[in-house]
Amino acid sequence: MQSSSRHITAWNVAVNAVMAGCKPEYMPLLIAMVKTMNGTDFRTPLLSTHGWVPYCIINGPMARQLGIDNGQGQINETANMRIGRFMNLAIINMMGLYIKTNRMGTFGYPMAWCLLEDDAACQRIGWEPRHVQQGMGINESAVTVTSALLWGNNMAISTQNPQKMMELIAWDCAERGQQALGSGGKQTTPRTILITEPLARNLAQAYSSLDILEDSLIVRSRRPVKERAFANLYANTGGPKDDRYNMNQYTRYIAQEEGGEYTATAPWYDRSESTIQTIATMKKGETVFIITGDTARNKVQVMPGGGYSTVKVQVPSDWNELTQAKGYEPIESFYLNEGEHDLPTEVSTINKDNVPVIQQGTMLINQGKGRMNIFDAAGKLVGSTTSTFNLRQLPIGVYMVRVAGVKGASKVVKSH
Q: Write out the chain's pLDDT in tens, 416 residues.
A: 877 888 999 999 999 999 999 999 999 999 999 999 988 888 888 888 888 899 999 999 999 999 999 999 999 999 999 999 999 999 999 999 989 998 888 888 889 999 999 999 999 999 999 999 999 999 999 999 999 988 888 999 999 999 999 999 999 999 877 777 877 778 898 999 999 999 999 999 999 999 999 999 999 999 999 999 999 999 988 889 999 999 999 999 999 999 999 999 999 998 899 999 999 999 999 999 999 999 999 999 999 988 999 999 999 999 999 999 999 999 999 999 876 544 334 445 544 556 788 776 667 788 777 888 888 887 788 888 877 777 777 777 888 888 887 777 777 776 55
Q: Which has the closest alpha carbon to 308: 152, 121, 115, 125?
A: 115
The structural domain count of the chain equals 3
The CATH number assigned to the domain holding 383 equals: 2.60.40
Q: Which has the closest alpha carbon to 59: 113, 129, 7?
A: 129
Both 313 and 220 in one domain: the answer is: no
User: Is residue 284, in this structure, part of any structural domain at all?
Assistant: yes
Both 5 and 141 in one domain: the answer is: yes
User: Is residue 336, in this structure, part of any structural domain at all?
Assistant: no
Q: Which has the closest alpha carbon to 149: 47, 45, 51, 37?
A: 51
User: Is residue 338, in this structure, part of any structural domain at all?
Assistant: no
Query: Who contacts 10 (Cβ-Cβ below 8 Å, separation ≥6)?
Result: 27, 31
User: Is residue 88, in this structure, part of any structural domain at all?
Assistant: yes
User: Is residue 335, in this structure, part of any structural domain at all?
Assistant: no
Query: Who contacts 379 (Cβ-Cβ below 8 Å, separation ≥6)?
Result: none
User: Is residue 15, in this structure, part of any structural domain at all?
Assistant: yes
Both 408 and 394 in one domain: the answer is: yes
Both 103 and 238 in one domain: the answer is: no
Both 378 and 312 in one domain: the answer is: no
130 and 118 in contact (C-beta within 8 Å)?
no
User: Is residue 26, in this structure, part of any structural domain at all?
Assistant: yes
**Cα maximum dimension of the chain:** 74
pLDDT the model gives residue 343: 38
User: Is residue 337, in this structure, part of any structural domain at all?
Assistant: no
Both 262 and 281 in one domain: the answer is: yes
In this structure, the strands spanning 191-195 and 261-264 are unpaired
Q: Which has the closest alpha carbon to 278: 220, 319, 328?
A: 220
Cβ neighbourhood burial of 227 (10 Å; 0-12, 13-18, 19+): buried
Both 228 and 249 in one domain: the answer is: yes
- Name the residue range of residue 400's domain: 347-414
pLDDT the model gives residue 345: 41
Both 189 and 272 in one domain: the answer is: yes
Both 119 and 195 in one domain: the answer is: no
* Separation of alpha carbons 138 and 61, rounded Å: 8
* Separation of alpha carbons 348 and 337, rounded Å: 25
Both 128 and 163 in one domain: the answer is: no
Both 381 and 314 in one domain: the answer is: no
Last residue within a domain, chosen from 304, 339, 367: 304
* Separation of alpha carbons 48 and 106, rounded Å: 9
Both 196 and 159 in one domain: the answer is: yes
